[in-house]
Chain A
Amino acid sequence: MIEISGLAKTFPAKGKDEPVDALKDVNLTIQDGEFLTILGPSGCGKTTLLRMIAGLMDWDDGEISVDGKPVRGPGPERAMVFQSFALLPWATIRDNVAFGLELRGVSKAKRNARADELIDLVGLRGFETRLPGQLSGGMQQRVGLARALAVDPQILLMDEPFGALDEQTRRLLQEELLQIWEATRKTVIFITHSMEEAVLLGDRVALMSPRPGRIVELVPVPLPRPRASAVDAIEGSAEFAKITASLWRQLREMQLFRRHSAQGRHAPSEPAA
């Protein structure tokens, strides 16, 4: 279980810029085996939040704990998948997938065997000795996912992992991720700015608003599982449409509010729709 309470972070003023309240009073509890998607407009602090959970960034106030243990830095029970893939360009696909194990001192034979297992799982068999530069973006992110799974973490932290991919590749990878998750049931925190992606993948959607970044709503997604084999039916369902529409209403309001306040006017007190 991941518990986040009263989390706050202010980036200090730089030059003429005002200090930025990146996060303010973020409270969130994520159950074991839950797939939580965090949705918000760009600049709402969702990546900041994920980096803090990963132990890559400090915060000013509040607490993050994993299974009751406070987070003080990166840990072996958490593994991250990056938007930019962050693969080692000089290392083969096999070595990239095995990298987390290599850092932990796992012997070459063992880690290669484990890497090949995961390369198989993400559908990249035959590419073991290629370099990342020889692969398409979608294939590179499969490597990123395999690398994270290779260390067998309890928690997968995914920072807009499909954000840099084209629509078709993204849809394929969403299905594959659902398949893998439904088979392994790891805890996943998945950042996205796509409403459809958030609803399709998540058990719950945490909706964030910008400046200060905070969680304005936790939307449960009561769509049936397993979803991997029924993506089309789910996306065509009334429930799916209803949730994404309500998320979009709130996101649009945030954007409008931001534009109005930027123009020095008051935001409409009632939602437009």
Chain B
Amino acid sequence: MNATAVNAARSHPPRFPARRHLTNAAPPAIALLAGILAWEVVARAWGVVFFPPFSAVVVRLAELTAGGRILSSLVGTLTNLVIGFTIAAVFGVGIGMLMGAYRKVEMALDIYVYAMLTAPSLVFAPIFFAIFGLSRASILGVVIIYSIFIIIVNTVAAIRSVPIALVEMGRSYCASERQLFMKIILPAALPLIFAGLRLGIGRAVKGTINGEMFITAVGLGAVVISAGRRFDAAAVLAVLLVIIIIALVAVKIVQIVDARMTGWLPSTARQQRTRRGGGA
């Protein structure tokens, strides 16, 4: 019995930072490998034309990349994503702050924001097409519609969550309205604003691809469409892999900026916020 106790203690060594890093990296790596393996096995066993195995998709991706198709499309797609998301972030955070700060603005806009948040964003694609035609503006419109409302909703919540005690403290030390905003409200709201931006960037990637697929066949969306027309399932999935990688990288960039700007947040609060933000 003593031996088992000792073994149990050994199997939970003190969690040194380096070790924790390793153990934290292991579960996602194992899950990823398992997923790829399952994909490969199921696709080979099933043998359906429209579900090629992972290896075939990778080969097709390599061909497309070598042919220059992916890279040239990538530039267009990333341009749409960056411009669209930047506009959505600037206006989303701005509108959200006004709604968070002024009750009347929130009362006026609340219904629109929640209506648009729940509405399927793609239905607006034809409207943008009608207004802007086959131009980049149509795609940007879709990107913004996809991402701006979740950013607004989170920014409103962020401003609301600023502790009243801090604002009162600022007032008692004779802060001007501008100082209250810049030195207390904005920094205090930043963590939740970033939670909104993280959700927003994911939606912006979706919006970019959908816009490129359904409005003007450009960028990666166009590659997907043309591959689909040729029933080239491997190419469709190959582009999908690229899109997923773009989304993950984009989210990571937002996370890095977030961590730099809100590094003061204790790690437990950071986890809670991620969960809360993810549920919104």
Contact = CB atoms under 8 A, between A and B. Distances in A.
Nearest to B175: A103
Contacts of B168: 56, 82, 86
A79 B165 contact: no
B184 interface: yes
Nearest to A144: B169
A133 B268 CA distance: 12
Contacts of A91: 264
B11 interface: no
Contacts of B175: 103
A74 B266 CA distance: 32
A103 B262 contact: no
Contacts of B174: 74-76, 103-104
Interface in B162-181: 163, 165-166, 168-176, 179
Interface residues of A, number: 25
B92 to A, nearest CB: 22
Nearest to A90: B264
Contact of B171 (A56, A88, A151): A56
A248 B166 CA distance: 34
B264 A131 contact: yes
A89 B172 contact: no
Q: Is the interface of B mostly helix, strand, loop or mixed?
A: helix
A103 B169 contact: no
Interface string A91-105: 100000001101110
Interface in A132-154: 133, 151
B276 interface: no
Contact of A133 (B166, B171, B266): B266
B183 interface: yes
B166 to A, nearest CB: 6
Contact of B172 (A56, A90, A104, A133): A56
A99 B187 CA distance: 14
Interface in A53-107: 54-56, 74-76, 78-80, 82, 84, 86, 88-91, 99-100, 102-104
Interface of A: 54-56, 74-76, 78-80, 82, 84, 86, 88-91, 99-100, 102-104, 131, 133, 151, 157
Interface of B: 163, 165-166, 168-176, 179, 183-184, 187-188, 262, 264-266
17 contacts: A56-B172, A74-B173, A75-B174, A80-B169, A80-B173, A82-B165, A86-B163, A86-B165, A86-B168, A88-B187, A88-B188, A100-B173, A103-B173, A103-B174, A103-B179, A133-B264, A151-B173
Given A80-B169, A80-B172, A133-B264, 6 more contacts: A74-B171, A76-B174, A82-B168, A99-B173, A103-B183, A133-B266
